[in-house]
């Protein structure tokens, strides 16, 4: 499932470190972010496990929560666990491009669900 994102131009109420805002159009980030809500992002900085980013994978633009294991495999989770079929496990050799990190409060990782 692709995230539906709309770029929001610079606004005076953007938090420190934000470069742009994104209006989330679907429920893939629920319950942390509701459809229609604006979240702020930065293209600077490194991702830590649990951070949410905007990624390009196989030509698709995805908004997912990030984790990486000790072997370099990357896990991209949807926050909305009702949409967990959108979770991805990518081998260390799979090309993944990070475009931006969403400036959200820390979120717990969902873990591996059966």
Q: What is the pLDDT of residues 48-91, one digit of tens each?
A: 999 999 999 999 989 999 999 999 999 999 999 999 999 999 99
1 pLDDT tier (thresholds 50, 70, 90):
very low
Question: Measured between alpha carbons, how far is 7 from 66 in angstroms, rounded to an integer?
Answer: 21
Which pLDDT does position 73 carry in this prediction?
97
pLDDT, position 26: 87
Which range has the top average pLDDT, 2-16, 28-42, 88-102? 88-102
Percent of all residues in the chain with a pLDDT value above 70, rounded to a whole number? 89
Which pLDDT value is given to residue 53? Answer: 95
pLDDT for residue 113 is more than 60: no
Domains and CATH numbers, the chain: 5-102 (2.10.109.10)
How does pLDDT run across 12-40, given as a tens digit for each residue? 778 888 988 888 888 989 999 999 898 99
């Amino acid at each position: 499932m692709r995230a539906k994102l709309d770029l929001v131009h610079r606004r005076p109420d953007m938090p420190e470190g934000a470069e742009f805002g994104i209006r989330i159009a679907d429920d893939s980030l629920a319950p942390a972010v509701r459809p229609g809500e604006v979240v702020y992002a930065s293209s600077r900085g490194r991702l830590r496990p649990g951070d949410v980013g905007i990624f390009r994978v196989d030509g698709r633009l995805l908004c997912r929560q990030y984790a990486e294991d000790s072997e370099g495999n990357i896990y991209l989770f949807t926050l909305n666990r009702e949409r967990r079929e959108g979770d991805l496990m990518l081998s260390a050799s799979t090309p993944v491009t990070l475009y931006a990190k969403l400036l959200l409060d820390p979120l717990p990782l969902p873990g591996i669900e059966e």
